[in-house]
């Protein structure tokens, strides 16, 4: 087959571009640690979320001196805990908080406004994210994935409480 040399040139150039694009994406994801939603937090049987030890009783649990695990279920159209009537997620200041979040119906979002926390919550998966809360503050939680008619109202709160207040009202310390 006889290929015109200009055509050959363009073929080589376009192949080189494709290789360049792929290597750029690979390089950036390796260097910056960009992550897709994956199984890092584990999988879960979406039909039996309420049977799962982690999520049968969604809660804030102290796991270290200044470390807390939050097991949260997102569902149309609340975060448990986080939204009313379940009450806000409450943790003391200067704590490390590991969120484990799953959905028992459709895809939701979990964003803590004013922080860089922003993850997708996918049925059958457990999204895991760790946050350091330094100062006492109140943050809003938003769902930012369209999940149905109540999507716009799906929200909640995280309350970061001062230590002295935490110790007297929550019995969190000694």
Task: List residues binding ligand CUA (CB under 6 A).
Answer: 77, 108, 143, 145-147, 151, 154
Phi, psi of 137 (to 5 degrees): -170, 165
Phi, psi of 18 (to 5 degrees): -60, -45
Q: Considering all CA atoms of the chain, what is the largest pairwise distance in Å, rounded to the nearest integer?
A: 85
Query: In this complex, which beta carbon is closest to ligand CUA, that of residue 114 or of residue 148?
Result: 148
> Which residues on adjacent β-strands are paired with residue 95?
133
Shortest distance (Å) from residue 81 CB to ligand CUA: 15
Distance between CA 116 and CA 67 in Å, rounded?
A: 19
Contact 70, 54 (CB under 8 A): no
Distance between CA 108 and CA 147 in Å, rounded?
A: 6
Query: In this complex, which beta carbon is closest to ligand CUA, that of residue 27 or of residue 146?
Result: 146
Shortest distance (Å) from residue 5 CB to ligand CUA: 56
Shortest distance (Å) from residue 123 CB to ligand CUA: 12
Query: In this complex, which beta carbon is closest to ligand CUA, that of residue 32 or of residue 149?
Result: 149
Distance between CA 165 and CA 170 in Å, rounded?
A: 8
Phi, psi of 131 (to 5 degrees): -130, 140
Query: In this complex, which beta carbon is closest to ligand CUA, that of residue 95 or of residue 103?
Result: 103
Shortest distance (Å) from residue 152 CB to ligand CUA: 8
Query: In this complex, which beta carbon is closest to ligand CUA, that of residue 145 or of residue 170?
Result: 145
Shortest distance (Å) from residue 148 CB to ligand CUA: 7
Distance between CA 93 and CA 116 in Å, rounded?
A: 18
């Amino acid at each position: 087959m006889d290929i015109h040399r200009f055509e050959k040139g363009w073929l080589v150039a376009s192949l080189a571009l494709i290789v360049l694009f792929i290597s750029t994406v690979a390089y950036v994801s390796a260097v910056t640690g960009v992550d897709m939603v994956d199984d890092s937090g584990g999988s879960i049987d979406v039909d039996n979320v309420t049977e799962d030890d982690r999520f049968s009783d969604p809660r804030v649990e102290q796991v270290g001196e200044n470390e807390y695990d939050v097991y949260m279920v997102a569902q149309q159209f609340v975060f448990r805990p986080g939204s009313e009537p379940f009450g806000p997620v409450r943790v003391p200041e200067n704590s490390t908080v590991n969120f484990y979040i799953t959905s028992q119906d459709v895809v939701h979002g979990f964003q803590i406004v004013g922080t860089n926390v922003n993850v997708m919550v996918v049925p059958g998966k457990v999204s895991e994210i760790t946050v350091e809360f330094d100062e006492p503050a109140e943050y809003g939680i938003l769902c930012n994935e369209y999940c149905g008619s109540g999507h716009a109202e799906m929200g909640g709160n995280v309350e970061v409480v001062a230590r002295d207040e935490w110790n007297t009202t929550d019995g969190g310390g000694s």
